[in-house]
Amino acid sequence: MGSMHIETPETFADGSKNFDDDGRAKRTGTWITASAHIITAVIGSGVLSLAWAIAQMGWVAGPAVLFVFSLITYFTSTLLADCYRSPDPVHGKRNYTYSEVVKANLGGRKFQLCGLAQYINLVGVTIGYTITASLSMGAVKKSNCLHKHGHQDECKVKDNAFMIAFACIQILLSQIPNFHKLSWLSIVAAVMSFAYSSIGLGLSIAKS
């Protein structure tokens, strides 16, 4: 039998360890970076079409649906927080994916189904963002064309090139090691989320 290697946390000069209790690299996040992550995750690009979508449903159904979705977001966020450590939320084993939690508590076929659902959701989100990004870039190009040639010009724009370009950029960025540790990127994304939310709010007020 081969000997099992146990990674011993090394200690810095100030006495702090560079590994957490689970043997992985010590987390260096702060409340600022955590807030930036949350804002970026909650305020997605879908908020740009939120005003139009609510307007189509009217003053009764629109806010009601918005309220229901906020409850769903709260429930799923609470569920995700409870799954971070199991079975004890404070001293339990730290889980890194939702599938790990399901496997530890349910196992078997339920783990496979939940894992499959999770990956299907990730693929769907990726496709949705790729399409949204390409449509947005196409809309900017069409807007510039209309300003240049006038509204009598059709200014047809094909989104396929933008879609391929966006996908290629995503593939290149995914090759960056430790991409999740770029805390400044989340802060920039949070600022952008507030920016386009403010634009959407301003345009809604101007149109009302």
Helix (H, G, I), strand (E, B) or coil at 172: helix
Closest to 63 in 3D by CA, of 50, 81, 46, 77: 50
Residue 134 burial (10 A CB sphere; 0-12, 13-18, 19+): buried
Closest to 192 in 3D by CA, of 46, 35, 38, 44: 44
User: What residues contact 109, with CB distance under 8 A and at least 6 apart?
Assistant: none
Per-residue pLDDT at 160: 86
**Euclidean distance between CA atoms 176 and 170, whole angstroms:** 10
Helix (H, G, I), strand (E, B) or coil at 37: helix
DSSP designation for 1: -
Per-residue pLDDT at 141: 87
> How much is the pTM?
0.60
DSSP designation for 17: B
Q: What does the pLDDT profile of the chain (208 residues) look like in tens digits?
A: 343 333 344 444 444 567 776 777 777 777 877 777 777 777 766 676 777 778 888 889 988 998 998 898 888 778 777 777 777 777 777 777 777 777 766 655 666 677 777 788 888 888 888 888 888 888 888 888 888 877 777 778 888 888 898 889 888 888 887 776 777 777 787 788 888 778 878 877 887 6
Domain ranges (residues) in the chain: 114-172
